[in-house]
């Protein structure tokens, strides 16, 4: 604020014009500066408060009925020109500071070196330090924060810098949004909805809970380790047993392989459980899950079963007299029937009669 007053005073030579009675405008400007000094306690109060004082003071002048319109317009014009100079100075200072800021991080979140010359690099400035992010890391950070759920109930979090755990400012989020929009063909759904909520977390949560939950389920199914999903998978088999009655999963079937095969089906199962009850999308999801499970079962009714075969292995030890022959050794070879149809394969036709249209479902936990 002191810089603002100095610029205003030096540009318009207020010390020279103050003694000339005909220059009433400059007299009022001089009074304006004096009032700012007093009301801001000589600019010792926080910068944000001094800015509010400045704007309130110019508003009072413009609304004062004892000032003629000519004086008000002249004061507003001088104030606007000074503001323009201040913004230019501020931009110049910020550019200089940014140029001199050190780059603290040289790698992305996967520890790959970052090439700062590429167009997919977004630079974040926090606490006088530069943090470069590739666009894929930015999207992952944003999606993970906005799609956060607790027991499948939406609890979006502030989008933070992973290197210092400090939330990004609104200005940075706006810059991120337009950077992503210029460099990608499609904007991530949740970030677009967050943008239209003016980056207000509460408003975003209230108006978009179903979308948050849907994105969370997709990330949960395709990014979680198999041991976190196995219980949900067993619950799905139990609930929809009538659509795959011949499928018996052997207890020794590799769990990781089983979960990886069933991830798309598990996504439909969780969406059917946790989407808003009564919605058309929930009905379509449950219907599709039943159809896919029937196709899966018809393609290979013996999926998941253990297959044991015997293989003859001749004894390799040298024969000892009086025995001159080697004895056969039988070895059990254990395999699992893992042949399955692709989730996107619709070659097996399912009639409507084979699907049960009673789609009532409860939100079960395994």
**What is the Cα–Cα distance from 193 to 209, expressed in whole angstroms?**
11
Joined together, the tokens standing for residue 259 give 């979960």
Q: What's the pLDDT score for residue 115?
A: 87
What average pLDDT does this structure show over 302-321?
A: 74
- The pLDDT tens digits of the residues spanning 82-102 come to 778 878 887 888 777 778 788
Mean local confidence (pLDDT), 317-342: 74
- Higher-confidence residue of 191 and 5: namely 191
Per-residue pLDDT at 16 exceeds 70 = no
Answer whether residue 361 shows pLDDT above 50: no
pLDDT for residue 177: 94
Instruction: Give the DSSP letter of residue 224.
Output: S
pLDDT in tens, 155-170: 999 999 999 999 999 9
Cα separation, 46 vs 257, whole angstroms: 61
DSSP 168: P
Q: What is the pLDDT, as a whole number, of residue 48?
A: 63
In order of 64, 246, 302, 337, 341, the CA distances from 306 in angstroms are 90, 14, 9, 6, 19
In the block, residue with structure tokens 């008000």: 72
Choice between 65 and 10, residue whose per-residue pLDDT is larger:
65
Whole-structure pTM value: 0.72
Q: 313 by DSSP, 3-state: which?
A: strand
pLDDT at 294 over 50: yes
Q: Identify the CA nearest to 97 among candidates 119, 122, 125.
A: 125
Per the CB < 8 A criterion, the answer to whether 14 and 8 are in contact is yes
* pLDDT of 293 over the 90 cut: yes
Residue 343 has, within 13 A of its CA and on its CB side, a CA count of 11
pLDDT at 146: 95
Q: Could you report the per-residue pLDDT of 172-193, keeping only the tens digit for each?
A: 999 999 999 988 878 899 999 9
| Residues in Cβ contact with 151 at an 8 Å cutoff, skipping those fewer than 6 apart | none
CA 339 to CA 132: how far, in whole Å? 45
Q: Check residues 7 and 146 and name the one with the higher pLDDT.
A: 146
pLDDT above 70 for 327: no
For the chain, the farthest-separated pair of C-alpha atoms sits apart, in whole angstroms, at 136
Residues 6+ apart with CB under 8 A from 112: none
Residue bearing tokens 């319109």: 69
pLDDT tens column, 42-87:
556 666 667 777 777 777 777 777 777 777 787 777 778 777 887 8
How high is the pLDDT of residue 22?
47
The average pLDDT across 301-322 equals 74
* Mean pLDDT in residue range 350-354: 79
CA dist 167 and 158 (Å) reads: 6
Query: Does position 350 have pLDDT exceeding 60, yes or no?
Result: yes
Residue 131 is encoded by which pair of tokens? 């943090």
Residue 260: what are its φ and ψ, rounded to 5°?
Answer: -65, -35
For residue 154, what are the β-bridge partners?
Answer: 149
pLDDT at 45: 64
Band the pLDDT of 292: cuts 50, 70, 90: very high
Residue of 261, 256, 228 whose CA lies nearest to 244: 261
User: pLDDT class for 41, splitting at 50, 70, 90?
Assistant: low
Is residue 296 predicted with pLDDT exceeding 90? yes
Model confidence pLDDT, tens digit, residues 216-237: 999 999 999 999 999 999 999 9
Q: Which two tokens stand for residue 127?
A: 């606490």
Q: How far apart are the first and last CA of the chain?
A: 62
Q: Which residues of 286-321 are buried (b: 16+ CB within 10 A; e: fewer)?
A: bbebbbbbbbbbeebeebbbeeeeeeeeeeeeeeee
- Average pLDDT taken over every residue of the chain: 82
Listed ranges 15-19, 306-310, 316-320; the one with the highest mean pLDDT: 306-310
The 10s digit of each residue's pLDDT in 109-155 is 888 888 888 888 999 988 888 899 999 999 999 999 999 998 888 99
Residue 358 has pLDDT above 60, yes or no: no
Q: What is the pLDDT of residue 128?
A: 84
């Amino acid at each position: 604020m002191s810089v603002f007053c100095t610029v205003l005073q030096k540009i318009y030579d207020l010390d020279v014009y103050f003694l000339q009675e005909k220059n009433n405008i400059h007299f009022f400007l001089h009074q304006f500066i004096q009032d700012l000094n007093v009301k801001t306690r000589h600019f010792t109060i926080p910068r944000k408060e001094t800015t509010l004082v400045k704007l309130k003071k110019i508003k009072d002048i413009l609304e004062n009925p004892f000032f003629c319109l000519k004086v008000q317009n002249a004061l507003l014009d001088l104030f606007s020109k000074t503001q323009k100079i201040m913004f230019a100075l501020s931009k110049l200072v910020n550019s200089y500071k940014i140029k001199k800021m050190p780059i603290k991080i040289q790698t992305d979140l996967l520890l790959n070196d970052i090439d700062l010359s590429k167009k997919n690099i977004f630079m974040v400035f926090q606490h006088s330090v530069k943090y470069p992010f590739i666009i894929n890391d930015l999207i992952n950070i944003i999606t993970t924060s906005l799609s956060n759920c607790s027991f499948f109930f939406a609890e979006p979090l502030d989008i933070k810098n992973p290197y210092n755990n400090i939330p990004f400012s609104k200005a940075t989020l706006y810059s991120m949004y337009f950077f992503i929009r210029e460099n990608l063909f499609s904007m991530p759904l949740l970030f677009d909805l967050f943008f239209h909520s003016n980056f207000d977390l509460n408003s975003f949560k209230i108006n978009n809970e179903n979308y948050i939950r849907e994105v969370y389920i997709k990330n949960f199914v395709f990014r979680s380790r198999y041991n976190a999903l196995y219980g949900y998978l067993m619950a799905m088999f139990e609930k929809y047993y009538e659509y795959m009655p011949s499928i018996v999963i052997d207890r020794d079937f590799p769990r990781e392989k089983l979960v990886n095969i069933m991830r798309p089906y598990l996504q439909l199962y969780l969406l059917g459980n946790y989407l808003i009850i009564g919605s058309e999308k929930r009905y379509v999801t449950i219907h599709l899950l039943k159809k896919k499970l029937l196709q899966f079962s018809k393609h290979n009714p013996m999926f998941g079963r253990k297959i044991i075969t015997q293989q003859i292995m001749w004894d390799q030890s040298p024969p000892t007299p009086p025995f001159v022959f080697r004895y056969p050794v039988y070895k059990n070879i254990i395999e699992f029937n893992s042949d399955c149809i692709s989730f996107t394969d619709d070659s097996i036709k399912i009639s409507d009669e084979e699907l049960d249209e009673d789609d009532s479902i409860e939100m079960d936990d395994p």
